[in-house]
Amino acid sequence: MKHRGGVYTDLYADEKVAATKQKYKNLQTINVYKSNLTASAGETIAIALGVMREIGIKVNYYGPRTAGTTTIIKYVELDDGSGIEFPVAYVADNNRIYKKGI
């Protein structure tokens, strides 16, 4: 991974895309069923599945907009042993940042 202007870029992305295309060459369509109760990790998975479009796989989304909790969380341990979590970024694919759900 390489950091460029606030974005982490995978230096081996082209090789990984080619390998993924080969691995899933027989997969034609992915259907993603979501609702307003789909949140957090569920939204991240739905976004990740959507990226499969980049290798030529059709991805269909069904259902209403998701909960909109597509944040990256950072955990900080405090001196007393307790901790706090807070959002530090939104989940994004190569085309957009998902601030308000999918």
What is the pLDDT, as a whole number, of residue 32? Answer: 94
Kindly state whether residue 55 falls inside one of the protein's structural domains.
Answer: yes
* Neighbouring residues of 25: CB distance < 8 A, sequence distance ≥ 6: none
Q: Is the pTM for the entire model greater than 0.85?
A: no
Residue 9 lies in a domain: yes
**pLDDT value at residue 6:** 53
Phi, psi of 34 (to 5 degrees): -140, 170
Amino acid identity, residue 20? Answer: T
Question: How far is Cα 23 from Cα 81, in angstroms, rounded to an integer?
Answer: 45
The average pLDDT across 83-89 equals 91
Domain presence at residue 33: yes
Task: Please state the domain count of the chain.
Answer: 1
| Residue 21 structural domain | 2-67
Flag whether 83 is in a domain. no
pLDDT at 3 over 70: no
- Across-strand partners of 74? 86
pLDDT at position 18 is 79
- Render pLDDT for 39-76 as a digit per residue (tens, 0 to 9): 999 999 999 898 888 888 899 999 999 999 988 889 99
Whether 32 is in a domain gets the answer yes
